[in-house]
Amino acid sequence: MAAFGRIITVGLSPCWDTVYRVAGIDWGEHKLVGLPSCRPAGKALNISRALAWLGQESTAAGLWGRDDYGRMVEAMRPLRQLVGIRMTQVEPETRRNVTVVDTLRGREMHLRTKSELVSRKALPVLKADLGQMIKRGSVCVFAGQMAEARFTEDVVRLIRFCGRCGARVVLDTWGDALRRSVDGGIAWLIKPNVEELRELLGQRVRDTPASLAKAGRRLLDRVEMVLISRGQKGAVAVTKGGAWEGRAAGRARAISTVGCGDYLLAGFLKGLKDTSEVGSALETAIEVATAKAWGWTESKGPARVRRGIRVEVERI
């Protein structure tokens, strides 16, 4: 694998992520909860946070509301040695996400407001900022919701620009922005879940390793790698050199699935950077995603996680 440069995560619709945890709740009930956790998030920023947990430096780019930009930077200060904040400030407010986690029944509810950060005024400024950051070999990760349909063409042009600047483009998104970027041969790596893969291919695909690998191979004339997230079932990685499936062998109960896909991708990128081996990268990816689901990333470091989670990876 060619030189693996700095990882730049790009979020067009980041958010403030507020999580409430309660031991059992239903419609119509009133519950007293403890202090919620509230931090800057969105898929791109979550990937940078996951990379930092792994000890990997990255740059967090994309859009953020000007009014609360300083508060976001302050909230990210504990990670400043590993996450460089280079977001483009724009006028609208950063959206809000609220997650309610029912710890008694193991279920979640996700509420979010609409993002209005993307505009035809904001995108050229972001393009100029990214142009200054990207070097040949950089890995540019576009993650999360891209924009409203009326901005899809502008967003695809922005993604293509990053590729032309010499970046390897990674896409962790869905819908037209993903389809058009894949069809245009822009992406180096894509990370759909099973439903997103079905949507991208326009056909039903069984959620089995063999079927997913076969479906992923159909995209290899346009992308180099496909990492397919299967939730609790693990993941499948497909390249022209082969296909691998992996899963965690442990049976600990998941505390929350929020952000697990972001940690999966971060672990995969870290594994590729360290070893250049897809099977090894998949193993790291599943370890990291499992640690996130079990709540270990908040209290344990990667070395302890590695000792406590057994991952099985097999070639398909």
Do 227 and 170 form a contact (C-beta atoms < 8 A)? no
> Looking at the chain, how many residues does it have?
316
Topology adopted by domain 191-316: UDP-N-acetylmuramoyl-L-alanine:D-glutamate ligase (3.40.1190)
What is the domain partition of the chain in residue ranges?
A: 1-25+36-190, 191-316
pLDDT number for residue 275? 94
Shared fold status for 1-25+36-190 and 191-316: yes
What are phi and psi for residue 184, nearest 5 degrees?
Answer: -85, 0
pLDDT number for residue 257? 72
> Residue 18, CB half-sphere, CA atoms under 13 Å: how many?
12
* CATH class label, 1-25+36-190: alpha beta
Strand partners, 21: 101
Residues ≥6 apart with Cβ < 8 Å to 245: 209, 212, 213, 234, 235, 236, 237, 313, 314, 316
Q: What is the DSSP string of the chain?
A: ------EEEEESS-EEEEEEEESS--TT------PPEEEEESHHHHHHHHHHHTT--EEEEEEEESTTHHHHHHHTGGGTTTEEE-PEEESSPPEEEEEEEETTTTEEEEEEPPP----TTHHHHHHHHHHHH--TT-EEEEES----GGGHHHHHHHHHHHHHTTPEEEEE--HHHHHHHHHTT--SEE--BHHHHHHHHTS---SSHHHHHHHHHTTTTT-SEEEEE-GGG-EEEEETTEEEEEEE---PPPS--TTHHHHHHHHHHHHHHHH--HHHHHHHHHHHHHHHHTTGGGT--HHHHHHH--EEEEE-
pLDDT number for residue 252? 63
pLDDT number for residue 172? 98
Full-model pTM: 0.92
pLDDT number for residue 35? 85
Per-residue tens of pLDDT for the chain, all 316 residues: 567 899 999 999 999 999 898 999 999 999 888 888 899 999 999 999 999 999 999 999 999 999 999 999 999 999 999 999 999 999 989 999 998 989 888 888 989 899 999 999 999 999 999 999 999 999 999 999 998 889 999 999 999 999 999 999 999 999 999 999 999 999 999 999 999 999 999 999 999 999 999 999 999 999 999 999 999 899 999 999 999 999 998 666 666 677 899 999 999 999 999 999 999 999 999 999 999 998 889 889 998 888 889 999 999 9
3-class secondary structure, 236: strand
